[in-house]
Amino acid sequence: MNKSASSVRRSRVWVLAAMLGMTPVMAGSSLLAHAEDAPAVPQSQQSLPPNLPPLNLATAVPAPPQLAATSWLLMDARTGQVLIEHDSHKRVPPASLTKLMTAYIAEYRTAQGQLPEETPVLVSEHAWRTGGSRMFLRVGTTVPVSELMKGIVIQSGNDASVAMAEHISGSEDTFAALMNSMAQALGMKDSHFMNATGLPHDDHYSTAYDLAILARHIVNDYPEHASLYAQKEFTYNNIRQPNRNLLLYRDARVDGLKTGHTDAAGYCMVASAKQGDMRLIAVVMGTTSEQARAVETQKLLNHGFLYYTTQHLYQKGPINNDLRVWGGEKNHLKVGFESDVYATLPRGDAPLTQHTDLPSSVDAPVHKGQTLGSMTIRRGDQALVQVPLVALEEVEEAGFFGRLWDSIVRFFVNLF
């Protein structure tokens, strides 16, 4: 009896051993297939594909211009690259450049269908009494949103800005809270607003960098409003009201955006200009006069257009390597760029390299558009632009047995 039971147990052990002996062979063939299909982790430094435009322009890039201003910055509007800057994160009074945020929020509400351009806005006594630059609104009258926007952007009217703020949020104080929420959403980390106009307040500040971020969103998010910022004048109540941006009259490349001035802020400007495929945003804070802010801003734009070039590096779509997915209905997914990749580069012949930061595998589920890694384009030691690498397709989680099988395969992969 004991001998028979022992024999049965030995038989079961041999059967189990045989099954276990087969498992590595079966899994091994599967593991080999997965290992061959899985993408290799990209090299840290890898030359860009040869079909990219060669950067063989001989012009050497000189030192950036030195400006008579408190702080300044030159940014590529397409990529957000900062080309040159000085104290661009220094908190300073933004004066009427504040109205770029007031206008952006109005454009946002219009795009959402919450603020049609023909909407009548009632002018309160508070708006009418606001000092400083004016659109010359009349208390108790109604003005269409489209006309108020002209008063805010072209004339820099404080009365128009307060009327818009009160219409959107009920009061200027509540609107200021909305401005701060929007600033955080846009990544303006060193900005704080206390009013819709830019009138002086100790807790009302921004930076050249933050204002460039805001200008970039205005240009890229709502191009249908771009012509407003390029308009040289408008007439309201039979009063001709000119744009104070002198560069609109001097440089055909310039098509916006806004000027500002208070005693505390000095003379400031945020300008947008386009030449060929390249659009630049220049921010100059704290100059000494209306002429000076135009001259100093022009220096930045001239430097950018003369010594930098925008290159199309990649088309949107997948990169060469697929990514291994564990526990999903698919074993692999395509990873790549959501949109075409551009970089604005100093003219010269320094080679470009890429650094790809991407895991060798991911766990399901994976959502289309989910950021999985990034690619950094470098010129020598300088990082020019970092582009997210995203999932280009959806991968749902597999059923129980699919997940179980992948966990077994993954276990043996990790052993080796």
**Is residue 42 over pLDDT 50?**
no
- Kindly tell me if the per-residue pLDDT of 131 is higher than 80: yes
- What's residue 349's pLDDT? 67
State yes or no: pLDDT of 58 exceeds 80.
Answer: no
The span from the CA of 399 to the CA of 377, in Å, is 39
181 is catalytic: no
Position 60 scores a pLDDT of: 66
Mean pLDDT of all residues belonging to the chain? 86
Q: How high is the pLDDT of residue 299? A: 98
Among candidate residues 71, 88, 99, 150, the one labeled active-site is: 99
Mean pLDDT of 384-406: 91
What's the pLDDT score for residue 5? 40
Give the residue-averaged pLDDT of 315-323: 86
In percent, the amount of the chain with pLDDT more than 70 equals 85
Would you say residue 43 has pLDDT above 70? no
How far is residue 190 from each of residues 32, 131, 180, 200, 215, measured CA to CA in Å? 53, 27, 10, 17, 15
| pLDDT interval class at 285 (50, 70, 90) | very high
Task: Catalytic residue, from 96, 133, 161, 191: name it.
Answer: 96
User: In this predicted model, what pLDDT tens digit does every residue of 211-225 receive, in sequence order?
Assistant: 999 999 999 999 999
What is the architecture of the domain spanning 315-416? Answer: Sandwich (2.60)
47 assigned to active site: no
258 is in an annotated binding site: yes
Q: Domain 71-307, what fold? A: Beta-lactamase (3.40.710)
pLDDT for 352 equals: 86
The domain segmentation of the chain, as residue ranges, is: 71-307, 315-416
Give the pLDDT band of residue 11 (cuts 50, 70, 90).
very low
Active site residue 227: no
- Which pLDDT score is estimated for 258? 98
- The answer, yes or no, to whether residue 384 has pLDDT greater than 90, is no
Question: From the candidates 133, 156, 191, 206, which is the catalytic residue?
Answer: 156
| Better pLDDT: 320 or 185 | 185
